[in-house]
Structure 1
Amino acid sequence: MHPTATAPPDLVIRGAHVFDGRAALPGLYNVAVSGTDVSAVSAVSAASARPPRGVREVDAAGGWVVPGLIDTHVHLYDVAAVTDEASLRAFERDRLPGLLGRFPRYGVTTVRSVGDPAEAVLGTRARIAAGTVPGPRLLATGPGITGRDGHPAATVLRRNPWARARFAAEVDGVREMRDLVHRLADQGVDAVKLLSEGACAHGDAPGYVWRVPPFPDAVPLVRLPRDLLRAGVEAGHERGLRVTVHTTQQAAAREAVEAGTDGLEHGVTVEPLTDDGLVTLLRDRGVTYVPTLWAHDANHPHLRGNVRKLAAAGVHVALGSDSFTGHGTFGANTLEEAALMVAAGMTPTQSLAAGTSGAARQLGRPDLGAVAPGKCADLLLLGADPTTDIGNLRELRLTVLDGGIVTGERASTGHPTSRRPPTGRP
């Protein structure tokens, strides 16, 4: 009997430096892709008698292969434009495909929606997975869960009752919280987002108000009670879902961590982080911190210092831009977030890790965010070294998404169907 010939890889990127999601590897490598996965990362050497051949080959010419970027905090649907079912469908038909298509052009291969209507965003996720709508891999929490008259229901959504009922979910009690989380899990969300409080300082009491530029009004706001917070975290964990909590103050952040959250969205933005015990708690419990500098750096002078302190202490940091429609450009905002992390005091390597392996950790997706055999083939080829200058993320030559070239040299017209389950999970 003759041995079965091994099929060649579908793609080989030759002669590249590699940032594997955590660190730069020494020397040059050939990166092979078979199907939807990385099949080999082999060192280039003069002794190599037979370098791997691929169906497609790209000469990296000493460029850099890095994992596709992951933005863990985006809002895809435009709450200003969506006021009823007809306008929702019009947005999905006329604007959303173009918005989604921007992400891969900037090297963003995975995004997580954190506060869009569940049925709508999960339908979009299924269409992307089926290849009928181009875009990045999409994960979603569905609506953000908040207390009755909490943020964002009583704040940014207060003048749009139709959207308020769908972009946010208001709960009054523990049973209602648990039932809602289980319903969302049944629908197939990838994670759960809870909102503890809004974006302003407050005491323990009544008189707590939301006051945020560019919204001129002071809105009385209700905090999510601790028992509801804990119930939401526990119910999410019962269904095998990671839970992340929106906070802006260190007291609220501590409550969320003590309730068992896996991540903090925004974290501590409105005040300096003086609670060293909270920093230790974040690190020791492995909670991921998503600072969303792109959206909040300009209005919160303490934010950069807080990020610097947390990164220096060894807290896990993940990239999330808090991008929303009408401000900046999807994808470009993600690159700006990476640059702002460096401006805040993180190294370029730390920022890259936050946007790749750190973001994959926040998503609970170990198959993403790395360049290694067996990992999902979401890859970027850059023309310059991003580990010395984070701005080199803009030197994009090629985006590979789930094994298919979607931007750059010999780009595919689409990407194959039947890649990952429609849930977006491995």
Structure 2
Amino acid sequence: MRNLFLSLLIVLTSSALAQDLVSNSQRDIVFRGVNVIPMDRERVIENQTVVVRNGRITAMGNARSVAVGKDALVIDATGKYLTPGWAEIHAHVPPIDDIEPMKEVLALYLANGITTIRGMLGHPRHLELRSKINSGAILGPHFYATGPSFNGQTVKTAERGADMVREQKAAGYDYLKLHPGLTKETFPAIARTAQEVGIGYVGHVSFNVGVWRAIDAHYSTIDHLDGFIEAITPGSDTLAEPETGLFGSWIAYRADASRIPKLVTALRDNNIRVVPTQALAERWLSPLPADAFTSAPEMKYVKAKDMENWTSAKRTYMDNPNFSKEHAEKLVQIRRKLIYACQKNGVELLLGSDAPQIFNVPGFSIHHEMKYLVDAGLTPYETLRTGTVNVASYLNKVDSGTIKTGNVSDLVLLAGNPLQDIGQTRNIEGVMIGTNWLSKTYIQQSLKKLEKQ
């Protein structure tokens, strides 16, 4: 099952709102009459004029207090809502030599308001991709790149693990991606060397390492809640890895919620960020059948073969003798409790859904993820923070994550207020990424070109 998880990455391939793509570093772009959700606290600042120039917010205030140049592109945003762009911190970009399919995935992310991604299965061409995004040669979200996978196949010895760390740091990757299969011998060498050279390691917690060692080793982020179920399930330390299932799916029904506070306290005290990727559990590992997801509108952007693979993976999971609908539902519920406990006890959550992956289409899946966080007990505001303010803090980008004068102009214009209904994140009227304004018309035309079915 875990090998399947690693391999199933797909290659995906008005007034002013009627504009297609506006890209100009000198011309002002003005949002007039817009309701601003600044994300500095839970509030809406109504009827604002927001001016963007050369990738920065240069002015914000009521119409009388903000001057608008005669050559500005003025977007009538009356009644609409402006929010910072979101992040997908567990994104996947095809790990291949061809950049063209990578550009298609980037387009799907941008079309859904995602202005920052962290790629989670690296490839040398990703360094070139990152450079071309930064230079403006390729249109895409801000891209943070992990290197090729550290796992049981690529790291056979402690020495090789240490060498890989140094190689990837020298190559210029932003993070190291850890996958299953690391051991009590190889993982410490990776962690120690990463700390020596100054590069964070992120992703999975190997079964033979366990979450407590991962916490003590100061992971940069732990993704998928990996190892959490095992940590709160009595007797899990007596089991072999196949007996626990992917992310503890076969033992979650026996998890002891009274053990959650100890785990959450350790995460908080060691400043471990958590990327839940709850969409993976609520879709692939849930008791719902495959046909609950296969007819979703966003599946038109998935190749037929990939859809067959996803459906097969879902059926394989449900056909396993260890599976039952009751136990699968308990897995979903205990994960929700873990997410809620993290939020309420000072563990910083980062927004990520793991796409492309089983029934998670790039970009679209982040809206599912936000809904699932609300279902876990977060407020819409807390949920929006996971993809804005928290990410800016994690990346140490002091000029990002909120809307204020001087900050970067990574913005999403929405038809409705997501603070009242998190589902409004889907109702995108346009996206601003740096100096580029992507209108609703442009987004729709771009998406049409990306349809696979």
Number of the residue aligned with 1:92: 99
Number of the residue aligned with 1:139: 144
Identity fraction in percent: 24
- In the alignment, is residue 16 of structure 1 matched against residue 34 of structure 2? yes
Structure 2 CA distance for partners of 1:235 and 1:132, relative to 1, 3 Å? same
The question of whether the paired residues in 2 share the 8 Å contact of 1:37 and 1:375 is answered with yes
1:342 positional shift: 0.8
Secondary structure of the residue that 2:39 maps to in structure 1?
Answer: coil
> 1: distance between equivalents of 2:165 and 2:136?
29
| 1:25-424 correspondence to structure 2 within 5 Å | 25-28=43-46, 29-40=48-59, 42-44=60-62, 48-53=64-69, 55-77=72-94, 88-89=96-97, 92-93=99-100, 95-117=101-123, 119-146=124-151, 148-149=152-153, 169-173=154-158, 175-195=159-179, 197=180, 222-225=181-184, 228-247=186-205, 252-267=210-225, 268=228, 269-270=247-248, 271=252, 272=255, 274-298=259-283, 299=285, 300-301=331-332, 302-324=334-356, 327-408=359-440
The question of whether the paired residues in 2 share the 8 Å contact of 1:295 and 1:322 is answered with yes
Structure 2 CA distance for partners of 1:177 and 1:8, relative to 1, 3 Å? closer
1:320 positional shift: 0.7
> 1: distance between equivalents of 2:265 and 2:357?
36
1:8 positional shift: 8.5
User: What is the TM-score with the length of structure 2 in the denominator?
Assistant: 0.69
Secondary structure of the residue that 1:375 maps to in structure 2?
Answer: coil
1:258 positional shift: 0.7
Secondary structure of the residue that 1:286 maps to in structure 2?
Answer: coil
Q: Which has the higher strand share?
A: 1
> 2: distance between equivalents of 1:383 and 1:344?
25
1:32 positional shift: 2.1
Structure 2 CA distance for partners of 1:321 and 1:241, relative to 1, 3 Å? same
> 1: distance between equivalents of 2:150 and 2:168?
11
> 1: distance between equivalents of 2:417 and 2:165?
43
> 2: distance between equivalents of 1:123 and 1:360?
24
Corresponding letter in the other structure for 2:275: V
Secondary structure of the residue that 1:391 maps to in structure 2?
Answer: helix
Structure 2 CA distance for partners of 1:170 and 1:248, relative to 1, 3 Å? closer
Secondary structure of the residue that 1:374 maps to in structure 2?
Answer: coil
1:24 positional shift: 3.5
Corresponding letter in the other structure for 1:104: L
The question of whether the paired residues in 2 share the 8 Å contact of 1:250 and 1:275 is answered with no
Structure 2 CA distance for partners of 1:96 and 1:260, relative to 1, 3 Å? closer
> 1: distance between equivalents of 2:224 and 2:380?
20
> 1: distance between equivalents of 2:358 and 2:129?
19
> 1: distance between equivalents of 2:27 and 2:138?
26
The question of whether the paired residues in 1 share the 8 Å contact of 2:183 and 2:209 is answered with no
Query: Per-residue displacement from partner, 1:57-87 (whole Å, max 9, x unpaired)?
Result: 2222132111111000022227xxxxxxxxx
> 2: distance between equivalents of 1:248 and 1:232?
13
The question of whether the paired residues in 2 share the 8 Å contact of 1:35 and 1:403 is answered with yes
The question of whether the paired residues in 1 share the 8 Å contact of 2:29 and 2:51 is answered with yes
The question of whether the paired residues in 2 share the 8 Å contact of 1:9 and 1:32 is answered with no
1:244 positional shift: 2.0
1:247 positional shift: 2.8
Structure 2 CA distance for partners of 1:352 and 1:116, relative to 1, 3 Å? same
Segment drifting more, 21-30 vs 284-293? 21-30
The question of whether the paired residues in 1 share the 8 Å contact of 2:178 and 2:203 is answered with yes
Structure 2 CA distance for partners of 1:407 and 1:142, relative to 1, 3 Å? farther
1:17 positional shift: 2.2
Query: Per-residue displacement from partner, 1:78-120 (whole Å, max 9, x unpaired)?
Result: 7xxxxxxxxx44x533x33222211111111111111132x12
Query: Per-residue displacement from partner, 1:180-211 (whole Å, max 9, x unpaired)?
Result: 1121111111122223x4xxxxxxxxxxxxxx
1:49 positional shift: 4.9
Number of the residue aligned with 1:216: none
Number of the residue aligned with 1:153: none
> 2: distance between equivalents of 1:25 and 1:238?
42
> 1: distance between equivalents of 2:32 and 2:195?
42
Query: Per-residue displacement from partner, 1:211-242 (whole Å, max 9, x unpaired)?
Result: xxxxxxxxxxx4432x5434433433444433
Query: Per-residue displacement from partner, 1:9-51 (whole Å, max 9, x unpaired)?
Result: 72222232222234344432332222122223x3327xx3554
Structure 2 CA distance for partners of 1:350 and 1:49, relative to 1, 3 Å? closer
Structure 2 CA distance for partners of 1:368 and 1:224, relative to 1, 3 Å? farther
Number of positions where the alignment pairs a residue of Structure 1 with one of Structure 2: 345
Structure 2 CA distance for partners of 1:325 and 1:26, relative to 1, 3 Å? closer
> 2: distance between equivalents of 1:170 and 1:223?
7
Structure 2 CA distance for partners of 1:239 and 1:368, relative to 1, 3 Å? farther
